[in-house]
Structure 1
Amino acid sequence: MSAVLKLKRVLIEAGFSQAALARACGVSPATIAQIVNHNQWPKAGLVLREAILLVCQGHGLSVGEDIFKVADECANTHQPGSNGLEPTQETEMLLRKQGLSPAARRHFGLFRDPFSEDVSDQDDVFVSNDIRYVREAMFATAKHGGFLAVVGESGAGKTTLRRDLIDRINREDQPVVVIEPYVLGMEDNDAKGKTMKAASIADAIISAVAPLENPRRSMEAKSRQLHRLLKESRKAGYSHCLIIEEAHGLPVPTIKHLKRFFELEDGFKKLLSIILIGQPELRAKLSERNPEVREVVQRCEVVELPPLDSRLEEYLAFKFKRVGADMSAMLDPAGLDAIRAKLTYSRSASAPGRGQPRDTVSLLYPLAVGNLVNGCLNLAAELGAPKVGAELVKEV
């Protein structure tokens, strides 16, 4: 938890901005922000302390040394790692949804938020080599058949690629019937929510292929009806692609049943392709070490959306260009390095303890990056900083 000083409240109540205090003291706004919000002082801390007191008193504020105390003493009772996590781990690096503030829009001349409602057509989709492979694998599966699982962390861009796939099918007038069962409230067990069963998937397929037909009641009759409708649609020149988003919430029995849907055929022709889209838990459910799903694992290709990492600058330049802005006018190179560092941490590869091997974990996914950058732009506008630098990133 940050050690916020009483000085912050004094400045707010007096209507005296941190930026104005920084100018009066001859230091950067980020330096004042470090002191006020985190009680972190530069090497010349004693001199700066006196300067802050003199400036405050010179502006008519009745203040003393107590303004340099932490506003909430309990803030110091939190010890790094007391919750089992290191202070640089995910829980302290990810931000809530950050929209671009009106002040930041004016300050940087941005008329659109680069990271909110930012994809309206295919040209808005950022495509790296890794993303291009996943994108083309999804399209090939939908058009030519196959069984594919797309895995990625929250905010990695999975939903964007699903939307891109459907838009491409429609835009190119591809003869592909897309079937998307509703997944609202879906969980992998009935204690937490409602599980998706094979019957529900069958109903969704029938509804998409033949909207005017009512599904049969018994599963045996429904299966025959489904097979017949798919064969008729195939003879009419259509392919069929079942897409299940949030597939990490599928129960294992339903995952096993998907093999039977995939094996529906007419002669040598497969009648249904399948694309599962989910978070890393889906990869665990499709592990080759899981004997319950071995028949699915042998037929399902798993592709993963990696973090941006070395593509961070390219991604941000693309997003700002799409809203008519120049990234280099907003973020300096040190700020970019600080963003990369803030969204990267190390953790023990096994149980925590001294001497344990460590993994480097990257959270540089589009959603996390967008929230962090917007937070930095908002703070820069508040402090009057012309660009986002390393010190400012540390304050967000």
Structure 2
Amino acid sequence: MLNLQLITKELGINQADFARQLKVSTATVSLIFKHNRWPVKTGMEFRLKRAATDILLQRGVDPDRVKTAFEECAGQRANAAQLTEANASTPSPQTTLSNRLKDEDMLLRKHTITQDARDYFALPRDPFTNEMRGVADVFLNDNIRKVRAAVRNVAEHGGMLAVIAESGAGKSTVRKDLAKWIQGQQKSIVVIEPGIEGLDNQDRKSRPLKASDLVEIIITTVTPGAAIRQSYQARLNQMRDALRASASAGNKHVMVIEEAHRLATQTLKHLKNFYEMDDGAFTPLLAIILIGQTELDWKLDEKSFEVREVVQRCEKRFIEPLDNDVEAYLRHKFARVDGDFDKVFAADAAEAIVARLRVSVETKIRGQRSLGPRSLCYPLAINNLVSGAMNLAHQGGEEHVTAKLVAQVGREE
């Protein structure tokens, strides 16, 4: 039994009520409470844990206790420890998952090419550190071109767009690319960028970013130095008037929110009101681009009653892993620093990188095994893995980065 069941019971929340708040069946909650069995659908366990955490924190449960909610009760942990010792020779699915996650953490750990390794491979500079200096440095495949085109289209012509990707996939690059494009094309587009630092929905030391914060940020960006009016309704009118005046002067406006997966649901709901502002006729005043991790996709679930009006108006674009484009990506990166890809990598290296960055998570519920692959083949992970492999090649006096060296990164420590 999980501590979560005890905590909800103390709060007076029965299983049926908790299931409704999580938007799952009572049977699902029962399996979670009693047996720590979570839905096997990709991302569901993470989403449900985050939603449950939010519910407990909103009910005033001490954050330190919330951290223990997904652990088994003390007596059950002792029994589990005895059982594990008795069956140590047979690893459980949970053990497999734990090992996989440790491996994933290793892959995402920062590796930097040493100066000696750069000299060894005749690289003038590191292709993975401070390398994004202009639009030409952005690697493009079909997926990234479509995402970039969608971002530019919304900025120029209006709309609401969510760009969703895993950590390290290049979400910040999308924002920087937009800024460079606006500057280079001399577009009359005012970019409004609310900083989410200190306004985090998940950090207990912070407070959620509210619609009122967005109103003030829009006013101060469009009309710098303007005195903010006192009442919220007056500020709404001030924001609309400022946007209309700016639009009359020939400007367009786009609000770009990075780390949008950290926005509170209540704030997401208000985006509909911002999106529907117009010039008094048919021309919208504010385009909206949300950039966030996969949790943003869950928050913008079309089945969610709370945000359905936003979801109906919001297009989603996903940055996909580079499984089929690893060699093209690396050739691009090395060419940008006057490096020679073929002098660094063996023929089997690219395929080995894809294999190394694919994690298979295995779970077992009611005797049914489920195997779900997950690719980590995004720029940040590729950069770290290749940097580590190049350091190993230098240390071992190898002529090229080979599949064997790629497989060895992190495991030599």
RMSD: 2.0
TM-score, with structure 1 as normaliser: 0.77
Q: Relative to structure 1, is the Cα distance of residues 87 and 78 closer, same or farther in structure 2, using a 3 angstrom cutoff? A: farther
- Aligned pair 1:188/2:204, yes or no? no
Instruction: Write the distance in 1 (CA, Å) between the matches of 2:254 and 2:317.
Output: 17
Which residue number corresponds to residue 85 of structure 1?
A: 97
Q: 1:161 aligned to 2:161?
A: no
**1:102 maps to which of 111, 115, 132:** 115
Task: Tell whether the 8 Å contact from 1:93 to 1:342 is kept in structure 2 after alignment.
Answer: no
Distance in 2 between residues matched to 1:306 and 1:184, nearest whole Å: 27
**How many Å apart are 1:189 and its aligned residue?**
4.7
Deviation of 1:329 after TM superposition, in Å, equals: 1.3
Shift of 1:393: 1.4
> Which ranges in structure 2 are unaligned for 5 or more consecutive residues?
1-87
Structure 2 CA distance, aligned partners of 1:87 and 1:80?
11
Asked if 1:179 is matched to 2:192, the reply is: yes
- Mind listing any 5+ residue stretches in structure 1 that lack a counterpart? 1-75
CA distance in 2: counterparts of 1:101 and 1:190, whole angstroms: 36
Q: Please say if residues 80 and 86 of structure 1, whose CA atoms lie closer than 8 Å, have aligned partners that are also in contact.
A: no
- Number of equivalent positions: 320
Which one of 329, 344, 368 corresponds to residue 315 of structure 1? 329
Partner Cα distance (2:405, 2:92) in 1:
22
Structure of greater Rg: 1
2:351 counterpart of 1:333? no
TM-score (norm 2): 0.74
In the alignment, which of 258, 268, 283 is matched to residue 245 of structure 1? 258
Deviation for aligned residue 1:110:
0.9
Q: Do residues 235 (structure 1) and 248 (structure 2) align?
A: yes
* Residues 389 and 401 in structure 2, CA contact (< 8 A), matched pair in contact too: yes
Post-superposition shift, 1:239?
Answer: 0.5
Report the CA distance between 1:92 and its aligned residue: 5.1
Q: Deviations over 1:305-334 (max 9, x none)?
A: 000010111101111111111212111122
8 A contact 2:349–2:403 mirrored in 1:
yes
Q: Of the candidates 227, 234, 239, which is equivalent to residue 221 of structure 1? A: 234
Aligned residues of 2:364 and 2:370 also touching (Cα < 8 A)? no
Q: Which of the residues 287, 290, 293 maps onto 2:301?
A: 287
Distance 2:99 2:203 in 1: 36
Which amino acid in the other structure matches residue 223 of structure 2? A
Q: CA deviation at 1:359?
A: 2.2
- Judged with a 3 Å threshold, the aligned counterparts in structure 2 of structure 1 residues 123 and 80 are, in CA distance, closer, same or farther, namely farther
CA offsets 1:325-383 (integer angstroms, 9 cap, x no match): 121211112222221111002224x6568642322211000000000000000111111
Cα distance, 1:81 vs structure 2? 5.9
| Alignment equivalent of 1:207, drawn from 200, 220, 223 | 220
Structure 1 Cα separation of the partners of residues 108 and 301 of structure 2: 31
Deviations 1:216-263 (A, max 9, x none): 121100000011111111111110000000000000000001110111
Change in Cα spacing, 1:330 to 1:77, as seen in structure 2 (3 Å) is farther
Q: Identity rate of aligned residues, in percent?
A: 43
Q: CA deviation at 1:284?
A: 0.3
Deviations 1:56-97 (A, max 9, x none): xxxxxxxxxxxxxxxxxxxx9996866451644553552411
1:255 and 2:255 are equivalent in the alignment? no
Equivalent of residue 135 in structure 1, options 135, 139, 148 = 148
C-alpha displacement at 1:288, in angstroms?
0.5
1:387 to 380, 396, 400: 400
Distance in 2 (CA, whole Å) between partners of 1:374 and 1:78 is 35
Superposition deviation, residue 391 in structure 1: 1.4
Query: How far off is 1:191 after superposition?
Result: 2.7
SS in 2 for 1:94: helix
Distance 1:190 1:328 in 2: 46
Partner of 1:359: 372
